[in-house]
């Protein structure tokens, strides 16, 4: 009806949904590439280090994305709104928990002087 909002069940996995997800993935990757080329050359990480950093982010984002798509399709309600809620929770509370975890582990690594476990150090 005229008051309906959101999308129907299965809309995240139809042709347009898949196209839109792919397009957003290309935009996200292009943004990372643009960011890399906009860094000053003397501060730019080598390709290997950049790839290791971005691949960890990409794997995590893909896992969360597919989990959100799967969970959103389990409901009889609007899957797009549920996906958005899951994404926002991950982007706020999830990032806060990750930040706290990284700070705690970094403190323990510094305290114990475990050189091989320092974040961002690849040898």
Burial string for 88-121 (b: 16+ CB within 10 Å, else e) reads eebeeeeeeeeeeeeeeeeeebeeeeeeeeeeee
Q: How far is CA 90 from the centre of its chain?
A: 9
pLDDT score of 34 more than 90: yes
Tell me what pLDDT residue 13 has.
84
What's this model's pTM, rounded to 2 decimal places?
0.67
Tell me what pLDDT residue 92 has.
93
The whole-angstrom separation of Cα 23 and Cα 96 is: 28
Write out pLDDT tens, residues 35-67. Answer: 999 999 988 888 988 898 888 888 988 888 888
Mean pLDDT of the chain: 86
Tell me what pLDDT residue 7 has.
79
Q: Can you give the C-alpha Rg of the chain in angstroms? A: 19
pLDDT score of 1 more than 60: no
Tell me what pLDDT residue 73 has.
80
Tell me what pLDDT residue 123 has.
63
């Amino acid at each position: 009806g005229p008051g309906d909002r959101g999308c129907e069940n299965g809309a995240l996995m139809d042709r347009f949904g898949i196209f839109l997800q792919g397009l957003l993935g290309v935009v996200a990757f292009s943004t990372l590439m643009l960011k890399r080329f906009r860094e000053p050359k003397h501060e730019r990480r080598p390709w290997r280090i950049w790839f290791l950093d971005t691949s960890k982010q990409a794997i995590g984002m893909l896992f969360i994305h597919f989990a959100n798509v799967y969970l959103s399709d389990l409901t009889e309600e609007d899957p797009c709104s549920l996906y958005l809620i899951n994404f926002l929770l991950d982007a706020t509370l999830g990032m806060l928990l990750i930040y706290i975890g990284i700070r705690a582990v970094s403190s323990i690594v510094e305290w114990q002087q475990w050189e091989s476990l320092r974040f961002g150090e690849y040898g």
